[in-house]
Structure 1
Amino acid sequence: MADSVSYKNILKTTFLFGFVQVFNIIVKVGINKVVALLLGAEGLGIISLFQTSINMVKTGAGLGINQSAVRDISEAYGSGNSKNCSETISFVKRIIWFTCGLGLVLMVVLSPILSNYSFGNYDYVFSYVLLSVAVAATIFNDGLRAILTGTRQLRSLAKASILGAFVGLFIALPFYFLWGIQGIAPSLVFSAIATLVISCFYVKKVECFSLCMSIKEVFVRSFPMIKMGISLMLLSFMLEVTNFIVASYISNYGGLGVLGYYQSGITIIGSYFGIIITAMSTEYYPRISAVNKDNQKLNDAVNSQSEVGLLLALPLVVLFVFLSPLFLTFLYSSDFIVVSQYIDYAILGTIVIICSNSMGMILLAKQRSKLFLTSSLMINLAVLVFYILLYQYCGLKGLGIAYFLSGFIQLVVFNYIMKWKFSISFNWSVILKIFVVLSFAFLSKQARDIEADWMRYLVGSMLLITSCCYSLYYVHKQMRINIVASLKNEIKKHL
């Protein structure tokens, strides 16, 4: 068992960025509720295709700098050499300008192709051209947030995320009210610009000075960063291309309405339930990078990370599965209750992805990007086949099953690679907790299907209380952490 200090650091960072994610959830509830009421499932489907296209192009044009830069900036910042840190930040900013321009041009050039492939016509070409500005702004914003992460300005990063979400809400809503579906593209553009301005404000507070560097010097110095970044970019690009193909396939063969239902399910799983993955990943990668040559410490890190993630996820799994029809009605409308059949299976995938991500990131920390990229490519090809085949035969439920299978395959593959290459594997405690969480998810679904209301809510409440007690017991006894006292201390710090 790793030292309890490690667990406390994980919980501390998870609490900070968990709060950010909760705020983002509240904002998205407002946006999704308005979109669902004003634009319906079709509007959500269009937003899904636009957002997927933006993510795909910005991932390809960004060259992975927003990910690889964190390692270089963190190393320079940790050295205590202000000149070295300033130089690193300076050439990162210059590379970001280049990738912004590349993203803008790519989006404009690809706009006819994206419109035709996504919607089956060229009616949305102008919208995609307009979204090129959103692509450039998003790339720049990701780069600035990499600077905040690398210099360990986590509170500034959290504030920028909260303000960005808040401003984005107030900018997007008027467009939907005034122009309906025609206001979707402009709302995405202005929201991206507003978020960028806020990030610029916080990055200016980072103590560093600007340095004059020639174009040649910038590219020579940044070559290792770009090399690593391209490997990460290819992985992210594969994921975005997979998402784009799946979304386009659903749009063309199932319609924008079905795509809207699918998108709402992704939002709940990826944004709302993904609070744990997002919050924990911010702290995890720098920590394992610092000990990337010590396999024993890495083994402890991956197991502690997975255990904390599973224990935090358990009560949420019970809550989301049991109350998914109520959540869908509240977040969207009663028409979206059908999405619960996707959530029932996709949430199982999220459980195993918590662990598989912890294992897979070790390959990046060890700079074994080729091995990581090759294995991820094979997984994504299999996942794409699962999505298309299972959607044809099982509809929304099939998409949820495909998500679960993708997480399970990823878990098995990464665990095999790490055990084979570095003798790093999950201990029995982690494996047991995976089965416990999956069992609770299954029982929660069975409880939700009980016909008698009083019995349904009685059983559901018992499952929720039991899951909370289980998590609190292991956090307190096994990890020697009083989570209630820790949360009180963190709340006092942030008030």
Structure 2
Amino acid sequence: MTLTGTTLLNGIAVLTRLLTALVLNKVLAVMVGPQGYGVIGQFQSFASMVVAFASAPVTNGVVKYTAEFGGQENRQHEAWRTAATLGLIVSLATSLLLLVFQRPLAMWSIADAGRSWLVVLLAVALAFIVLNALLVAILNGLKQLRSLVLANIAGSLISALTAIGLVSWHGLNGALAALAISQSLAFVATLLIFRRAVRASLRSLFGRLDPALSRGLGRFAIMGLTSAITIPLAQMLMRDHLADNFGWSTAGLWQALWKISETHLLLLTSTLSVYFLPRFAEIQDPNELRRELRRGLAFVTPLVLTTSALLFLGRNDIVELLLSERFLPMLDAFGYQLLGDVLKVISLVPAYTMLSHGQTKVYVVTEVLFAVLLTSLTVWFSDSMGLRGAALGYALTYAIYGVTMWFVVRSLMARLGRVPPP
């Protein structure tokens, strides 16, 4: 399927996710306010870290090998079995650690040991969250886009309805509980969709580990673990800094800025993942890779510039509509945040070459360095400029990241040019 076709089909799932996210953000903003929003963001970062850690063996590596072994059903099943078994082992070990250290982890993540039950909920749900991620990755690698779209729609609706129901019933605690369990509930719907689209039962996904595939998936797991640690940890450190220096309300405003960015970039970033990760994995010719990169940039750059301009022009109405008037102080940082969004999207196109070609060392180094850079710039500029400085740090980080990614692409193209064609 073409990039345009992928975007249009994926847009159905994204539209559903976008609408549910808008409704959910509105409910949370009205019911818990900026301060509660900051606490939710802190636990969300912690949960994201745990989930990404446990699901590292079953995400990007599965997409790559499923696409790479196209037409070789036995090899695909070997890759799935290896990934599923590794994922189950890691998720169960992680769940055990969460149960043992539930109180210290609750204290560290949200400064409230009395809410350690949230860590227990996450531990119970973790294996199902990992299995859901595995099935979605297989559908992506097989380019079963209709089934993938349906699974994403189901997941978005289930997560949103769970969150809205629990926050309406029990306020902030309900919202936090929804973060822990909603992805695991989506597994049931994903499994039903998967069984209709793929000739493989869930039981057949578990079995003997293939040593070579384990090593290959391990490289992708290292990349996933790097993201699992660096990105959410950086967000937690930045949020803590803002809360300590300006209060949890400011931290909640910063969290709202990030949420608007995530919602704004949802269509573009999800399309990049769905289309470019398996597409780049297939390409071994540097000239073809160069053409695909140009097509990607020509496609996403006008879109992100247009959407950013529209958001900036309607920023007052958008904040009141999506959140509430209590979040209007964030408008001072809106322009810098949108600039960061533009630079982020443009830099992600070349960045996907690292993931698709398993450039583990480069990926790990850049992820760590730019997480440190983002945190440092946010702290530095926010000390003198407040919330606006935090958004400026975000924009500057992705300006530097984008330049770095093009050096990475040039290195990859040079390496591919030295490899003789099969």
Calculate the TM-score normalised by the size of structure 2. Answer: 0.90
Give the distance between the partners of 2:174 and 2:11, measured in 1 at CA. Answer: 31
Give the distance between the partners of 1:340 and 1:300, measured in 2 at CA. Answer: 39
Distance 1:271 1:234, change over 3 A: same
**What SS does the aligned partner of 1:152 have?**
coil
Give 1:267's aligned amino acid. Answer: K
- Contact kept in structure 2, 1:120 and 1:252, CA below 8 Å: no
1:338 and 2:320 matched: no
What corresponds to 2:418 in structure 1? none
| 1:184 alignment partner, one of 172, 175, 188 | 175
The within-5 A match list for 1:136-285 is 136-205=127-196, 206-208=198-200, 211=204, 215=208, 217-218=209-210, 221-285=213-277
Give the distance between the partners of 1:395 and 1:108, measured in 2 at CA. Answer: 38
Give 1:92's aligned amino acid. Answer: A
Q: Could you tell which deviates more after superposition, 344-353 or 122-131?
A: 122-131
The within-5 A match list for 1:56-205 is 56-76=49-69, 78-79=70-71, 81-205=72-196
Give the distance between the partners of 2:226 and 2:54, measured in 1 at CA. Answer: 10
What corresponds to 1:48 in structure 2? 41
Report % sequence identity: 20
**What SS does the aligned partner of 2:386 have?**
helix
Q: Could you tell which deviates more after superposition, 9-18 or 224-233?
A: 224-233
Distance 1:267 1:64, change over 3 A: farther
Distance 1:221 1:373, change over 3 A: closer
Give the distance between the partners of 2:181 and 2:148, measured in 1 at CA. Answer: 20
Give the distance between the partners of 2:402 and 2:74, measured in 1 at CA. Answer: 42
Q: May I ask how many residue pairs the two structures share in their alignment?
A: 413
Deviation track 1:368-412 (CA, whole Å, cap 9, x = no partner) reads 221232233222222211111122221211111011011101011
Give 1:57's aligned amino acid. Answer: V
| 2:374 alignment partner, one of 371, 383, 391 | 383
Q: Could you tell which deviates more after superposition, 113-122 or 256-265?
A: 113-122
- Contact kept in structure 2, 1:379 and 1:406, CA below 8 Å: yes
Give the distance between the partners of 2:125 and 2:247, measured in 1 at CA. Answer: 26
**What SS does the aligned partner of 1:355 have?**
helix
Deviation of residue 59 (structure 1)? 1.6
| 2:285 alignment partner, one of 277, 294, 298 | 294
- Contact kept in structure 1, 2:226 and 2:367, CA below 8 Å: no
Give 2:194's aligned amino acid. Answer: V
Deviation of residue 325 (structure 1)? 1.3
Give 1:231's aligned amino acid. Answer: M
What corresponds to 1:33 in structure 2? 26
Higher relative contact order (CA 8 A, sep 6+): 2
What corresponds to 1:488 in structure 2? none
Deviation of residue 49 (structure 1)? 1.3
Deviation of residue 95 (structure 1)? 2.3
**What SS does the aligned partner of 2:192 have?**
helix
Deviation of residue 323 (structure 1)? 0.6
Please identify the structure whose Cα radius of gyration is greater. 1
Give the distance between the partners of 2:408 and 2:212, measured in 1 at CA. Answer: 33
**What SS does the aligned partner of 1:204 have?**
helix
Q: List alignment gaps of at least 5 residues for structure 1.
A: 1-7, 425-495
- Contact kept in structure 2, 1:91 and 1:218, CA below 8 Å: yes
- Contact kept in structure 2, 1:31 and 1:173, CA below 8 Å: yes
Deviation of residue 42 (structure 1)? 2.3
Give the distance between the partners of 1:92 and 1:304, measured in 2 at CA. Answer: 32
Calculate the TM-score normalised by the size of structure 1. Answer: 0.78
What corresponds to 1:353 in structure 2? 344
Distance 1:167 1:235, change over 3 A: closer
- Contact kept in structure 2, 1:346 and 1:401, CA below 8 Å: yes
The within-5 A match list for 1:300-311 is 300-311=291-302
Deviation of residue 211 (structure 1)? 4.3
Give the distance between the partners of 2:94 and 2:333, measured in 1 at CA. Answer: 33
Distance 1:343 1:21, change over 3 A: farther
Give the distance between the partners of 2:110 and 2:205, measured in 1 at CA. Answer: 46
Give the distance between the partners of 2:43 and 2:11, measured in 1 at CA. Answer: 27
Give the distance between the partners of 2:118 and 2:358, measured in 1 at CA. Answer: 39
Give 1:15's aligned amino acid. Answer: L
Deviation of residue 221 (structure 1)? 4.2
- Contact kept in structure 1, 2:58 and 2:130, CA below 8 Å: no
Distance 1:244 1:23, change over 3 A: same
Q: List alignment gaps of at least 5 residues for structure 2.
A: 416-422
Give the distance between the partners of 1:22 and 1:207, measured in 2 at CA. Answer: 29
**What SS does the aligned partner of 2:114 have?**
coil
- Contact kept in structure 2, 1:69 and 1:147, CA below 8 Å: yes
- Contact kept in structure 2, 1:353 and 1:411, CA below 8 Å: yes
